[in-house]
Chains A and B, each alone.
Chain A
Amino acid sequence: MTITRGARASRLTAYAALVIVAALASAPLWAGPSNLNLLTQVFAYVALATMWNLLAGFSGLVSVGQQAYVGIGGYALFALTMFGGLHPLVALVMAGVIGGLLALPVAALVFRLRGAYFAIGSWVAAEVFRLLASQITALGGGSGTSLPARIVVDMAAGRQAREFMIYWTGLALVLVVIGLAIALLRSRWGLALRAIHHNELAARSNGVEVTRIKLLVYVVAGFCTAMAGALIFLQKLRISPDAAFSVNDWTAFVIFMAVIGGIGRVEGPIIGAIVFFVLRQSLSDLGSLYLMMLGLVAIVIMLRAPRGVAGWLHDRFGFEPIPLERRVTYSSTMHESKPEPQHV
């Protein structure tokens, strides 16, 4: 009996991923500044959607308040560079740490709410952070502030070097976030998460520490989301409470990506983010009509194909680029009848 994790698919995915990452890493050679800028936005959104998917799709923590951590990350980056004198890249990682730490007291409160009420509770938490941010006069209060020119200039030698640096930071960030999500889901905690998803009561009675695992996921999501937020506002160079804690930009769009791509599959948010940006590039002129259409698409998908594009690819073609489950394969000598490979 051998336990594998869809070895062939994994290997294929690994080769494909290597090619894609190599192509993306060399993008500064072949893409212009505006495309690099766009790609960086895609990276940030993939990171956000991956983390939302980890919360909602795998851990039953449906949050409508992840904009809290985007804003915290952005504001932490501005504060640490402006008042702490840190290099923006160091500040970006520190912003993540701050996001992860702040997730602890937030969780202590919102984890008291169950299910759908958790969703709104997390939203209230984000509102609180938004209102607090608008009280920080040193960072421009309600109207916000720009990153001082000296920090921007000191970041790297020249405009192009700065653009490349932000781009590569974005690429590194999205790789770290996806890698972290996969590692977490494949760990024993990930196994426990799927057990919880299957049946929380049964998992509890089998000694799975449901709340601690959910807390772990929530903190990891806070860490990664805050880093993504720091990146987003490092790219924008300007921050304000309304932009930093926007539920539309940092949660609604992210939810659309996860829903369209496929909730509960690691590749879902990646697919969803690509679809989202393609739609946005071609339809964003429509303004609010475009947003209405997105809402409609999300509703239709939720009703007709709740597992999204990735789920459809999986069911229809067996497409599973990032297997999480281990497969048990029995060799035929051990059993007279050869059972089908089983998911554990």
Chain B
Amino acid sequence: MDWLNSIVQGVLVGGLYAMFAAGLSLIFGVMRLVNIAHGDFVVLAAYLALVVTQALGIGPLASLLVIAPLMALIGYGLQRWLLNRTLGDDLLPPLLVTFGLSVIIQNGLLEVFSPDSRKLQAGAIETATIPLSPDLSIGVLPLLQFLVAVAMIGGLQALFYRTSWGRALRATSDDQSTVQLVGVDNRHVFGLAMGLSLAVVAVAGVFLAVRANFDPSMGPARLIFGFEAVIIGGLGNLWGTLAGGVVLGVAQAIGSKVDPGWQLLAGHLAFLIVLAVRPEGFFPRVQA
């Protein structure tokens, strides 16, 4: 039962990893951009939640109403005024510019908030559980996090495949030059994609802040978790990111059950094994 408990926890944490991954997958799908600062934006969102909840006296989940649009705006602006200039045939400029952003965000957070770790208080919901059997119970908050991840990925999926917005995103992903011939401004679409990615990141950041302690240095590890979930799930498939997140979460849970020092290692090993035996991931698809 102990093992089952760990695995269930792993699955639920996988939802958070899927949120990291979905934002990463989205911008790679639309504009082949890999944002090295992705994890640092997650942490930035966590700190924004800290500020907003304290300033407005609202709960963490309510703070999303402010933070998600704010992060989306930051993403749009960043893409239009900075990252669009780096896109082209050369791989280095977008990588190194987002790498520079990562360093700036991390150290900016250090400067403003100090290296001390923080946590967001969500009240009674944090400790509430749903007992499934005498030995097995599920935390309400982890469950909520998982359900939000599923809903978000379902929502993104619907957006991509059911709306004219998604049509423009997919067409831009196919051919950013021809899409202009049908009146779509590719630069604007890139901005929207980054805005959407950071809105997803905002949700992930708030859940991160409620679930555990956070500090300015933990961004890169979130980037890596998101990346591993993307590759395990298969590049360019949104539901795949959920599967990838769950695989990663379960691997880490099993690892830490064996030995607390093995938690991260087990996750990385799961990723490396997938890379070795099935480099295209479980659910590959070319388009986002």
Residues of A at the B interface (CB closer than 8 Å) are 56, 60, 62, 64, 108-110, 112-113, 115-117, 119-121, 123-124, 127-128, 131-132, 134-135, 142, 247-248, 252, 255, 259, 263, 287-289, 291-292, 294-296, 298-299, 302-303, 306
New contact pairs (9) apart from A127-B224, A287-B111, A292-B107, CB-CB < 8 Å: A115-B34, A116-B95, A132-B265, A135-B261, A295-B101, A296-B100, A298-B100, A299-B97, A303-B82
- The interface size bin for chain B is 35 or more
A264 — nearest CB in chain B belongs to which residue? Answer: B92
Q: Quick check: is B110 within 8 A (CB to CB) of the other chain?
A: yes
- Asked, given contacts A252-B99, A289-B111, A303-B93, whether A120 binds B34 with beta carbons under 8 Å apart, the answer is yes
Residues of chain A within 8 A of B100, CB atoms compared = 295-296, 298-299, 302
Interface residues of B in 95-152 (CB under 8 A from A): 95-97, 99-104, 106-108, 110-111
Residues of chain B within 8 A of A120, CB atoms compared = 34, 36, 223-224, 227
Residues of chain B within 8 A of A64, CB atoms compared = 36, 99
- Asked, given contacts A60-B91, A120-B227, whether A127 binds B264 with beta carbons under 8 Å apart, the answer is yes
Q: Quick check: is B170 within 8 A (CB to CB) of the other chain?
A: no
Query: Which residue, of A132, A255, A294, A302, has the highest number of chain B Cβ atoms within 10 A?
Result: A302
* Count: A-B pairs, CB below 8 Å: 122
A76 to B224, CA, bound (A): 26
Query: 1/0 per position for B64-95, CB-CB distance to A under 8 A?
Result: 00000000000000000010011000111111
Q: Quick check: is B228 within 8 A (CB to CB) of the other chain?
A: yes
- Asked, given contacts A64-B99, A127-B264, A128-B265, whether A295 binds B92 with beta carbons under 8 Å apart, the answer is no
Q: Are A124 and B227 in touch, CB under 8 angstroms? A: yes
Residues of chain A within 8 A of B104, CB atoms compared = 292, 295-296, 299
Q: Quick check: is B212 within 8 A (CB to CB) of the other chain?
A: no
**Minimum distance in angstroms from B49 CB to a CB of chain A:** 22
Q: Are B111 and A119 in touch, CB under 8 angstroms? A: no
**Minimum distance in angstroms from B286 CB to a CB of chain A:** 13
Q: Quick check: is B10 within 8 A (CB to CB) of the other chain?
A: no
A123 — nearest CB in chain B belongs to which residue? Answer: B224
Cross-chain contact of A128 among B32, B97, B223, B269 (Cβ < 8 A): B269
A-B contact pairs, 9 of them (CB 8 A): A116-B94, A123-B220, A124-B228, A291-B107, A292-B108, A292-B111, A295-B103, A302-B86, A302-B93
**Minimum distance in angstroms from A107 CB to a CB of chain B:** 12
Q: Are B231 and A113 in touch, CB under 8 angstroms? A: yes
Residues of chain B within 8 A of A112, CB atoms compared = 275, 279
Residues of chain B within 8 A of A259, CB atoms compared = 96
Nearest 7 Cβ contacts at the A-B interface: A116-B34, A295-B103, A288-B107, A295-B104, A295-B100, A299-B100, A112-B279
Residues of B at the A interface (CB closer than 8 Å) are 28, 32-34, 36, 82, 85-86, 90-97, 99-104, 106-108, 110-111, 220, 223-224, 227-228, 231, 261, 264-265, 268-269, 271-272, 275-276, 279
B104 — nearest CB in chain A belongs to which residue? Answer: A295
Q: Are B224 and A124 in touch, CB under 8 angstroms? A: yes
Q: Are A116 and B272 in touch, CB under 8 angstroms? A: no
A306 to B94, CA, bound (A): 11
Residues of chain A within 8 A of B110, CB atoms compared = 288
- Asked, given contacts A124-B227, A124-B268, A288-B107, whether A119 binds B275 with beta carbons under 8 Å apart, the answer is no
A108 to B268, CA, bound (A): 16
Residues of chain A within 8 A of B92, CB atoms compared = 56, 62, 263, 302, 306
A294 to B100, CA, bound (A): 8
**Minimum distance in angstroms from B242 CB to a CB of chain A:** 19
A62 to B93, CA, bound (A): 11
**Minimum distance in angstroms from A139 CB to a CB of chain B:** 14
A288 to B90, CA, bound (A): 30
Residues of chain B within 8 A of A116, CB atoms compared = 28, 32-34, 91, 94-95
Residues of chain A within 8 A of B96, CB atoms compared = 255, 259, 298-299, 302
Query: Which residue, of B91, B92, B265, B279, has the highest number of chain A Cβ atoms within 10 A?
Result: B92
Cross-chain contact of B276 among A109, A247, A303 (Cβ < 8 A): A109
Residues of chain B within 8 A of A263, CB atoms compared = 92
